[in-house]
Amino acid sequence: MTTEREIRLSSQQAAVVDHVDGPLLVVAGPGSGKTRVLTERIRYLLSNVPGHFRVLALTFTNKAADEMRERLADLGDARQRAFIGTLHSFCLDLLTERGKLVGVEGMPNIFEQFKDRKEILLNAIKDDPALEAELDQEGDAKARGKRVDAWLQGISWVKAHPITCAVIDDDLERRVLEAYDNGLRASNAYDFDDLLLLAYRLLSGNPKLAEFYQRLYKFVCIDEAQDLNEAQYAVICALCGESFKNVMMVGDPKQSIYGFNTSSPEYMDRFKAEFSAQLVGLTENFRSSKSVVDVARSLDSNYLVAAQLPIQGLVKLIVGDDEEDEAKRIVDQIQVLFDSGHPDVEGGIDPSKCAILGRTRFALLAIEKELRERSIPFYKRLTANHENESEVVDDFQLALRVVANPRDRLHFAALAKKWKVSEPDATNDAAKALASMASAAGSVSGRAAAVVAAVASVLRNTARLDLMPAFAVLTSYADKLDEDEKLPIYEDVEVFRQEWDQYLRSDSSTQTIAGFMSSKALGATQKASREGVALLTVHSSKGLEFDVVFIAGMAEGSFPDYRSSAGRELLEERRNAFVAVTRSKRLLYLSYPLTRMMPWGDRRRQSPSRFIQEAGLSQ
């Protein structure tokens, strides 16, 4: 008799789900049910393995974590025995609970925005005559700016390599890093890289603490292992110590596309060797049609598919005269699909089943304009540190930061500058300082007063945190303004409201302003799904799937990028194309323009990408 479980899992998938003790490396191709296997293994461990233990499931994206939590909701109380989240969110929790050993008091306040980190470094340089003298050698402002950006990149590189960069030999490099870190700590703040670096130091420097977590989490499951970097792998190794081996990694080296961010599939190989892990391959594709799989195989001849869907699907080339014509032809085709559907896509085709991908945002500009002009709904991924459209909501976000962290001199100074008032003295009563600043705000006093009133409406309720009264205050302020000033506030408040709603749905039992701001910084408050056509870069489409995918701007020099003409860079471009193609479940359209206006103003002829030629596509 065939059980429901056997129907739902292939033999390859079942071999992974049923694995209990010992290290396991799963190489999972696109569409092979990777997230499903990971989820079902957690279910199996919590339901069938006796004992009081927890499972640590580390994902690469918040979307994957949300999806896994939803799939396991039927476990009831047993679901609470699994931590499912990103490695950054695990490190945030770890440092919040145990961070005193590495100097972290309470929940770390995260400065996630590049402009804030740059401001911290610039202030640190001003306070250090040696660094200022070094920068003065650069001459003009542009060269100085480039040097500061290079220093910031260098800081991130060092923090992302806690083992190979454990000792910094260069005196200037060390001085820059120390000045920057001192500037962060003066505002009681940390950056993204600190979460991993300090978690590594905490666990590697305190083996007894690592042993406590090994007893707490009997099993560790790691998703998207091809995207690990040195710092992430170091945290995992420090957590496991010398003896802990119940680790499963799942990934696909063919989908490693974050090399620019220091990640590498080499850590999958290192895990296999250093942990003596058993290797299992998931080589079936339950996502994509035959036509899509054929294009994926043209990009990587080593991509072998043991089983696939019996659906033909479609791959088609679209060529525009220029980028505007390319955009028009893509949107024409989308409209045809909306009107007529396709026999290989069940239930008709609506905007949410479609995605248009570009190697960069530049490839999508004309398409965005065309979609807007035709009133076709679309969305661009909202990143964790998106820019607000309105001043008042931007000010409110700054005000929340300083209420959560009164030592945050950087954002106090930013708010004072926007309100054209002097920065308040150091204080523990941020709300009082904000009110004093608002009363002196002059030309922007109405806006400042609205922000202070919004903050006060939040702080008034001491029983539980609730931001809804603040949103009411901000929209009430907007109601008194002209239409063109009112709409951006409404839109920003709506985004904030969605983020707040997402935060309330999180696992956290106690909600705080600091917790909400940290969740925002980590991207955990983004909505997992949106209405409309997805207009995304290849990198932001990772982990998503759509019935219909268009890949725009596929010309030589654009995709692959002109800076990636050989070696490792070209291999990564090929993996980018592989990821883009395998986002499609049924229909795939590749497009390019015959000519394109370049950013510097010249119109240039375009030739089709080598990836189009290798797929054997022609008009």
Task: Give the residue numbers of the binding site for ATP.
Answer: 28-35
Residue 50, preceding bond cis, omega within 30 degrees? no
The closest alpha carbon to 355, from 539, 545, 582, belongs to 545
Specify the pairing of strand 24-28 against strand 247-251. parallel
Torsion, CA 227, CA 231, CA 236, CA 242, rounded to 10: 130
Q: Angle 192-205/230-240 helices, nearest 10 degrees?
A: 30
b vs e for 481-510, b when ≥16 Cβ sit within 10 Å of the residue's Cβ?
beeeebebbbebbebbeebbebbeebeeee
Cβ-contact 19, 41 below 8 angstroms: yes
Distance CA 22, CA 11 (A): 20
Sign of the C-alpha dihedral computed for residues 525, 529, 531 and 533 taken in this order: positive
Count Cβ atoms within 10 A of the Cβ of residue 551 and give its class: 0-12 exposed, 13-18 middle, 19 or more buried: buried
State how far the alpha carbon of 366 is from the alpha carbons of 159, 330, 333, 373, 552, in Å: 38, 11, 15, 11, 10
Distance CA 403, CA 424 (A): 13
The closest alpha carbon to 401, from 521, 534, 524, 500, belongs to 521
Planar angle of CA 256, 287, 297, nearest 5 degrees: 55
Rg of the chain taking only CA atoms, in angstroms: 26
The closest alpha carbon to 353, from 338, 340, 339, 367, belongs to 338
Cβ-contact 545, 322 below 8 angstroms: no
| DSSP bridge partners of 534 | 355, 379
Cα of 183 vs its chain's centroid, Å:
26
Annotated binding site: 28-35
